[in-house]
Amino acid sequence: MSAAAWEERLYRAAHPIAYPLLTAVRSPVRRIPGLGIVVTDAALLRSVLLDGRGFTKNGPGASSELWTPVLGPTVLVNMDGADHAALRRQLAPLFTPAWVDDLAARTLADALAALTGRLRDGEPVDLVTEVRHYASIMIAQLVGLGDDVVGDELFRRISAISAYVNLARPRLTARQILAARRVIAELDTAASAAWAGDASTVPGRMRELGLGERDALGAAGAFVLTGTETLVAFIPRLVALLLDTGWLDRLRDDRTRVEAAIAEGMRVTTPTPVMLRSVLRDGRIGGVGVRRGERVILATFAANRALGPFDPIANPAAGLKQLWFGAGPHFCIGAPLAMAQVRLVLGALLDAPAGLRVAARGAARRTLLPGYRSLVITR
């Protein structure tokens, strides 16, 4: 099966109803009853993201309806306007390349060295399990958890929250909110202690930057919820894509193409397939009129795919300005940290001997983010 066919299978396994419905949209903008206004054109999608007066993350049908009941009202994923800009400025020092590269390298060095060694020895490795472990290690640093609670069970509790989200359902049920709050409360306990004393963790660093405890806890919870599972979904897909197309060995011989290959992997897989906005005032998106309070579904995956198949040489991703991370004031603040982790894992694979292959794989079913249930690689 080709790389493109596997990507299609992953999307259909994750969203057997919503994905075919969204891919059936052939026009740049279309209103779908029961879902909202679907935008599939990259230029129009970017224009919505940049128009803070016409569209918001904090309103009916937007991401705030999902995350505010769980995280509270003052985290970046559900804020807009001056308050959002102010909090983002306070958090910005956490995401400089120097800071995140050092954090990721210190946190993952031993685990990634072990990965390279196991592949060198010919051991089959389930990359989904591996990346889930790395995500748990990073969670410990993000919220100040002890090593004794890092593991698959921790990640499962966190990823269960995103599993509640359904594109056709704009908000969580009362029972789901309660379950999600229990998980966040566990993280808050550790993050609160870290904020008070451990400057090597993200909450402790936030205190040094002048953030109050509540802001620090909310931000740490948002980083965990929106960042960890994205990487667990994306990195195995990127590696499968590189193996299916023969590009992993090509990158081993010419690492100058690594950044283009990662960007193309982001474009083709689009780890966050859709973004949500709420209409603030009556207007138009392209040729479609929109009304205040309507839900806008930005089908990022469709806009990205329109540029063709995976191609690190032509690198059509370069023209999208990392659209998969958003645009304007809501461009993902955690993008540098995500990219640092992606580069480190890919580097560990490139340090392994040539000739890696996919030995077995299976698609994850009915998950928020399309991905592999397992991806076993070996020599």
For 125, phi then psi, to 5°, come to: -130, 125
Indicate the burial class of 378 (C-beta count within 10 angstroms; 0-12, 13-18, 19 or more).
middle
Q: Give the 3-state secondary structure of residue 128.
A: helix
Q: Which residue bears the tokens 């990662």?
A: 262
Query: Which residues have C-beta within 8 Å of that of residue 136, sequence separation ≥ 6?
Result: 150, 151, 152, 154, 155
Residue type, 328: G
CB-based contact 190:50 (threshold 8 Å): no
Q: What is the predicted pLDDT for the residue at 95?
A: 85
Q: What is the predicted pLDDT for the residue at 216?
A: 78
Report all structural domains of the chain as residue ranges with CATH numbers, in order of start. 3-378 (1.10.630.10)
For 23, phi then psi, to 5°, come to: -70, -20
Closest-CA residue to 7 (of 332, 377, 344, 273): 273
CB-based contact 137:232 (threshold 8 Å): no
CA distances from 176 to 161, 184, 195, 324 (A): 8, 12, 28, 28
Q: What is the predicted pLDDT for the residue at 366?
A: 84
What one-character DSSP code corresponds to residue 92? G
Closest-CA residue to 173 (of 184, 161, 157): 161
Closest-CA residue to 262 (of 322, 305, 326): 322
Helix 81-91 vs helix 213-244: crossing angle, to nearest 10: 80
Half-sphere exposure of 274 (CA within 13 A, CB side): 27
Tell me the pLDDT of the chain (379 aa) as tens digits.
899 999 999 999 999 988 999 999 999 999 998 889 999 999 999 999 999 999 998 888 887 887 888 888 777 777 888 888 888 888 888 888 898 899 899 999 999 999 999 999 999 999 999 999 898 888 777 777 766 655 667 677 777 777 777 666 667 888 888 888 888 887 788 888 888 877 777 788 888 888 888 877 877 777 777 778 889 999 999 999 999 999 999 999 999 999 999 999 999 999 889 999 999 999 999 999 999 999 999 999 999 999 999 999 999 999 999 999 999 888 998 899 999 999 999 999 999 999 999 999 999 998 888 999 999 999 9
Q: What is the predicted pLDDT for the residue at 150?
A: 59
Tell me the torsion sign for CA atoms 331, 332, 334, 335. negative
For 361, phi then psi, to 5°, come to: -160, 160
Q: Which residue bears the tokens 């990634």?
A: 112
